[in-house]
Structures are given as C-alpha cells and as structure tokens.
Amino acid sequence: MLTLGRIAFALAMAGFGVLSLLYVDFVHQLQPIPAWMPGYSLLAILTGVALIVAATGIALDRNARIAALAVAGFFSLWIVSLQVPSAFTDPALLRSPWWIRTFESVTLVGGAVTLAALRSDPVRTRWLRGARIAFGVSLPVFGVLHLIYPESVASLVPPWYPAPMFWAYFTGFAQIAAGLGVAVLVMPRVAAILAGLMYGTWALTLHIPRSWCRLQGPCGFLDAPVVGLEGSRAGLTSLFVAFAMCGSAWIVAGSLAARAAVGAPPDAGARTR
C-alpha cells in the first residue's frame, strides 16, 4: 500500500503544481494568499515549480524524505499563517469552507510527515504517531459535514450511483469511522486502506467525469455545465485533493504495515525522536 500511496500522493502534488502554473495562482482554497501580496504571480509560479519538483522526488523515491518534509512544511505554513487566522477574520467561513480547506491541508501534512518518517534512518516513530493522529482526526470533520449538508453532497453523486442521499450519509459515517479507527488504533490499517479506496473511487468515478464534462462537454449523462479551463479550476483542484487524500490514507496504512512487519505495535519503537 505504501508504494501505491506514494504514487497517488505524488500525482496530486504534481497536479497542484501544474494547476498553479496554468492559472498563475496558488493552490485553490488550500493556499488563500491575499491578492495584494507583492510578487503574487511570481510566487505562484515558484509554488507550482516547487510542488512539481517535490512530486518528482516522491514519485521516484529519490530524496523522498526531503521532498515530503518540504510538502509538509509548505502546507503547515499556510495552515498557521492563513487558515487559522481566517477563522477569526472571516467567521462566515466556519459554516463549512474553513473546515474543509483547513483539514484537507492537515490531512496532506499527515501523509507527507508519515512518508518522511518512513524514509528516515532510523524510522521516526514519534513523527509517525503525530502524523497518524493528525490524519485520523481530520476524517471525522469531513464526515460530520456530510451529515450536516447531505443535500449538497448528494448533488455531487453521479447518476450511475443509485440513491444519492444514501451515499451522502454513508460516506459521512464511513469517514467518521475510518478516522476514529486510525486515530485510536481500532483496526487502523483496515480503516486507512478503506478510506484510501473511498477517496480513490471518488477521484475516478466522480471528479474525473465531472472535470472532463466541464472541460470538453456537453455530457448527457452528467449535469455539469461546460465552463472550459477557466471555470474548471475548483473542480480540477478537488480531483487532485481526492488523489492526495487517497495517497495519504495508503501511506498511513503502509506505515502501520511496516511497524507490524517488525513485530512492533504501531506506536512503539526502540529508538524514537
């Protein structure tokens, strides 16, 4: 699972980087940089290049520890400097957007730190513990939002899935269960594998068709307006977020398998840092 997770995570980071270059902007929602920042466009381009370079290192597993730490530091910076302050400066975001974009960033940090810990010598078990908990506590946030706004979630369910309201509630409870399982170590590897499978399925069966229809449409099987590249930024970002969530989940699952393989419980280790 670790290799699959690493590749999916790298694909997502590369996707974010390409979108930054295409739109000459930062990662949509995850990096809400104010437009008045000096050198905005140049910094956005440098962000795109940095994400692509990091993605390449992670995908090829060359200097993956450094690349993963760079990604973790990158998104941690935006959480501390932008996401957290925005909860106070723009409280309206607390209805939903703030929770989504903040905890999506936390999830990505958890996946990146887990990968960096596994590529350290020795493996840094304290990092693994903190990253696992960060990943685990994020998923219930998304699950609760599914339960609060089921109609909005159901509207995104593609027509080949019957009973959209069922899927809205089911995926809400599934994310809560998976997150708690990972955080408190109740069948954590199974929970992480299934969470990754869920997010990967969303990417393949929901986000890719919807993005394709918006870019190329019209698609008779999917009610998605044709908006071209200019209007597809949010949808394409969501696609790569789904891949990033899938990759993070499977990286966490791989870390749990690695600990079990040496006969140690998930949080134990002779040497910790």
Between 38 and 266, the higher pLDDT residue: 38
Does a structural domain hold residue 270? no
Long-range contacts of 152-161 (CB under 8 A, 24+ apart): 156/206, 156/210, 157/206, 158/205, 158/206, 158/209, 158/210, 158/221, 158/222, 159/221, 159/222, 159/223, 160/205, 160/221, 161/205
Report the number of distinct structural domains present in the chain. 1
> ∠ at Cα 198 (211, 193), nearest 5°?
135
- Domain membership of residue 269 (yes or no) is no
Predicted structure pTM score: 0.91
- Domain extent for 142: 2-261
pLDDT tens by residue, 182-192: 999 999 999 99
CB 103 within 8 A of CB 142: yes
The string of pLDDT tens digits covering residues 200-211 is 999 999 999 999
Q: Place 145 in a pLDDT band, splitting at 50, 70 and 90.
A: very high
Between the two ends of the chain, the Cα-to-Cα distance in Å is 25
d(CA 91, CA 97): 10
Residue 197 lies in a domain: yes
Query: Is residue 271 in some structural domain?
Result: no
User: Given this model, what pLDDT does residue 216 score?
Assistant: 84
Q: Would you tell me how many other CB atoms lie within 10 Å of the CB of residue 29? A: 19
Q: Is residue 106 part of a domain?
A: yes
DSSP element (H, E) containing 207: none
Burial-class residue 79 by CB neighbours within 10 Å (0-12, 13-18, 19+). middle
**3-class secondary-structure state, position 113:** helix
Sign of CA dihedral 75, 16, 211, 34: positive
pLDDT digits (tens, 9 = 90+) for 71-121: 999 999 999 999 999 999 888 888 889 999 999 999 999 999 999 999 998
Whether residue 268 is contained in a domain is answered as: no
- The answer to whether position 272 is within a domain reads no
Distance of CA 140 to the CA centre of its chain: 14
